[in-house]
Amino acid sequence: MRNLFQHLTLKASVLSLSLLFLAYPAQSQESSASLIEEIIVTSQRTEESLQDVPIAVTALTSSMLEDMQIEGGSDLQLVTPSLSFQGSDATGGAFNIRGITNLAVSPTAESGVEIHVNDLPVGATTMQDGDFLDMERIEVLRGPQGTLYGKNSVGGVINLITAKPQFGQTFGSMTLEKGSYDLVKTKMMFNMPIGDSLALRIAGASNDRDGDIKNIYSKAKTSHVNNRNSGAYRISLAWDATDRTDVLFVHENYSENSMRHYVNNVYCQRDPSFVAGCTPGGERVHELTHPMATYVENLAVLTGILDLHILLICLELLKVFGRLISEVTLTT
């Protein structure tokens, strides 16, 4: 009888311990699930949870943009699958989603990747000039998009949603960054309600930096190029007209006066040898690579097709002519 009692007690203890271990993971999973932030997107022109949208969407909230240091359009490719960005000195850069980009130059051509600001297509624009300023959310829709936002897009859509004025509370923020080449970046934001039905939000940013590329082509006073002096501001006014009507006025401006280059890896100091096109560890200047530092030219010289001395004289003449053209351009 005593053995039977001990046996039942042992079974009850094991059963209680098993139930305890079964209940603990359930509570842990429930606690972990409650920590997942729900992101509300408007990719289908209605507020929906990101998990319920049947579209390949990458959504980034303002806090995510700050935590991951997503400051401009080119940074989106670091956190978005199938998205790439190529800067350009002439066209303002272009996005590429799943191999589709903006190759057509006609104003009537359909965009490969369309840019929307507050649900409005902006057409031709540049995403490499200024940084993001006081954003509420950024949505990247991958794949073909119809006329839901007023314009077709074959590759995808990038929705930029700016932060809207908040009613009933006054707050603001300001950040200051310092860096090399006398870099000074500032950002500020101020939100203020005006009565019960109006609210005003002002955001501004500036970016100043000296040039980091030595000017070797001209005798002008500009010793370095690739400097930057830009500023932007946005004024948003929200009006809660009625229970069913909300009006939002947005005015923004961007200006820049700089001599900066948008394309990466363009620094080259021509190497005098035939081995390297650019001098390893040379100054950050803009020169054409040494034409003899390629396989074709070297082979042509060795086989006698090209005369080395005549070629070098022509290169020096072209170099002098290029400097003269640069001096005239910088002077004018």
Ordered DSSP codes for 267-312: -B-B-SSSS-SB-TT--S-B-PPPTTSSHHHHHHHHTTSS-HHHHH
Residues near 80 by Cβ (< 8 Å), separated by ≥ 6? 58, 140
pLDDT, residue 29, reads: 42
Q: What is the pLDDT of residues 288-304, one digit of tens each?
A: 666 666 655 566 666 66
Short-list 121, 150, 117, CA closest to 135: 117
pLDDT, residue 330, reads: 54
Task: Give the residue, 51 or 187, on which the prediction is more confident.
Answer: 187
Instruction: Tell me the pLDDT band of 125, cut-offs 50, 70 and 90.
Output: low
Residues near 59 by Cβ (< 8 Å), separated by ≥ 6? 39, 41, 50, 137, 138, 139, 140
DSSP 8-state class, residue 145: B
Q: What is the pLDDT of residues 40-63, one digit of tens each?
A: 766 666 666 766 666 788 888 888
E-assigned strands of 36-152?
A: 40-41, 48-49, 56-61, 83-86, 94-97, 100-101, 111-117, 120-121, 135-142
Please list the residue range(s) of the chain that carry CATH number 2.170.130.10.
40-162
Short-list 119, 117, 118, 114, CA closest to 101: 114
Task: Give the residue, 166 or 16, on which the prediction is more confident.
Answer: 166
Q: What is the pLDDT of residues 255-290, one digit of tens each?
A: 888 877 766 556 677 777 766 777 777 777 767 666
pLDDT, residue 96, reads: 84
Mean pLDDT over each residue of the chain, to the nearest integer: 75
pLDDT, residue 8, reads: 46
pLDDT, residue 298, reads: 60
Task: Give the residue, 245 or 263, on which the prediction is more confident.
Answer: 245
pLDDT at 240 over 80: yes
Task: Give the residue, 270 or 239, on which the prediction is more confident.
Answer: 239
pLDDT at 305 over 50: yes
pLDDT at 102 over 60: yes
pLDDT, residue 258, reads: 82
Q: Residue 120: left if φ>0, alpha if ψ -120 to 50, beta else—which one?
A: beta
pLDDT at 94 over 50: yes
pLDDT at 30 over 50: no
What is the assigned CATH class of domain 40-162?
A: mainly beta
